[in-house]
């Protein structure tokens, strides 16, 4: 029997650990591959429960989950997206504007389920453990719920697309959200025809995947050069090359 004090005593089995990493590295922001197949309640309930078990500062659990199935409501949300998207396209320079106009940036009308995850910044009162000096921690906690749901959805074979091109007030109006409630993520959810090998914006040439070694410092901000010979830096560079070039996810 393994020593309960051994470093690996609480680790997952190899298969369980591999499944977690597979969900992380194969997760995609889905826009165009949604299928009309209904998502069973037993599946959807699992990913909602995963979201509800996200970490939150002070255990304040500031999120709400607004499930959208009505075609009429989806259309109102889509109208709000279209207005903001037309404005956004005009903000980019000509070369980026052309590429922007070719990208499908939402699946609002295609996905069988839409979900808005929100943050109630008044929940548990004005004084929250852990938020006394960093008041935005409630917003960050709600984002953790988004990530939990996204990874659980990938494990269930569901695609998720995050739509953020809205005027906040227009999204609140379309969904009847009170003014003091902050919309964190509007998500399109459903079964998909396939998951892309790489993020769509990377494949389209919008932006590349940044080398993790360019984002890594040691002990002080900006102190990256001092760690160039560090074994961790070498290991991360090799790992990223394996992922990018050969699709070798850590196991």
Q: What is the CATH number of the domain that holds 173?
A: 3.40.109.10
- Cβ atoms of 137 and 130 within 8 Å: the answer is yes
Pairing of the two strands 113-120 and 63-68: antiparallel
| Structural domain span for residue 64 | 21-207
Give the residue from 152, 120, 125 showing the smallest Cα distance to 138.
120
Same domain for 130 and 89: yes
Name the residue with tokens 């959805």: 153
Same domain for 245 and 164: no
Same domain for 244 and 137: no
Residues in the chain where the model's pLDDT stays below 50: none
- 173-231 tens-digit pLDDT: 999 999 999 999 999 999 999 999 999 999 999 999 999 999 999 988 987 665 667 89
Final residue belonging to a domain, choices 207, 223, 240 = 207
- Cβ atoms of 160 and 146 within 8 Å: the answer is no
Same domain for 134 and 214: no
- Cβ atoms of 77 and 108 within 8 Å: the answer is yes
Same domain for 163 and 55: yes
What is the reported pTM?
Answer: 0.93
Q: How far apart (Å, rounded) are the C-alpha atoms in residues 238 and 240?
A: 6
- pLDDT the model gives residue 127: 94
Same domain for 134 and 38: yes
- pLDDT the model gives residue 7: 78
Q: How far apart (Å, rounded) are the C-alpha atoms in residues 245 and 10?
A: 32
- pLDDT the model gives residue 41: 98
- pLDDT the model gives residue 3: 73
Tell me the DSSP string of the chain: ---TTSTTTTPPPHHHHHHHHHHHHH--B-SS-B--PPPPHHHHHHHHHHHHTS--GGG---EEEEEE--HHHHHHHHHHHHHHHHHHHTTS-HHHHHHHHH-----TTTSSEEEEEEEETTTT-S--TT-SS-TTHHHHHHHHHHHHHHHHHHHTTEEEEEE--S-HHHHHHHHT--TTEEEEEEEEEEEBS---SS-HHHHTTS-PPPPGGGG--SSSTT--GGGTTSHHHHHHHHHHHHHHHH-----
Same domain for 176 and 91: yes
Q: How far apart (Å, rounded) are the C-alpha atoms in residues 62 and 142?
A: 6
Same domain for 94 and 111: yes
Give the residue from 141, 118, 111, 144 showing the smallest Cα distance to 128.
141
Residue 3 counted as domain residue: no
Same domain for 128 and 249: no
- pLDDT the model gives residue 1: 56
Same domain for 36 and 89: yes
Q: How many domains does the chain have?
A: 2
Residue 236 counted as domain residue: yes
Q: Hey, which residues does 29 pair with through a beta bridge? A: 160
Same domain for 202 and 78: yes
């Amino acid at each position: 029997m393994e020593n309960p004090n051994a470093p690996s005593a609480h680790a997952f089995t190899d298969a369980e650990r591999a499944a977690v990493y597979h969900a992380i590295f194969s997760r995609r922001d889905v826009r165009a591959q949604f299928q009309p197949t209904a998502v069973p309640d037993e599946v959807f309930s699992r990913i909602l429960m995963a979201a509800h078990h996200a970490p939150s500062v002070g255990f304040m659990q500031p999120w709400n989950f607004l499930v959208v199935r009505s075609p009429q409501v989806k259309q109102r949300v889509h109208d709000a997206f279209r207005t903001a998207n037309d404005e956004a396209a005009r903000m980019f320079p000509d070369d980026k504007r052309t590429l922007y106009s070719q990208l499908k940036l939402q699946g609002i009308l295609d996905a069988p389920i839409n979900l808005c995850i929100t943050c109630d910044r008044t929940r548990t009162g004005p004084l929250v453990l852990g938020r006394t000096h960093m008041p935005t921690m409630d917003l960050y906690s709600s984002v953790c719920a988004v990530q939990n749901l996204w990874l659980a959805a990938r494990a269930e074979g569901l695609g998720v697309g995050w739509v953020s091109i809205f005027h906040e007030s227009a999204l609140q109006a379309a969904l009847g959200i009170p003014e003091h409630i902050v919309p964190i993520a509007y998500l399109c959810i459903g079964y998909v025809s396939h998951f892309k090998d790489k993020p769509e914006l990377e494949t389209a040439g919008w932006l590349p995947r940044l080398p993790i070694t360019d984002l890594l410092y040691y002990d002080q901000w900006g102190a990256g050069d001092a760690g160039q010979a560090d074994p961790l830096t070498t290991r991360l560079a090799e790992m990223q090359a394996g992922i990018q070039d050969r699709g070798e996810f850590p196991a």
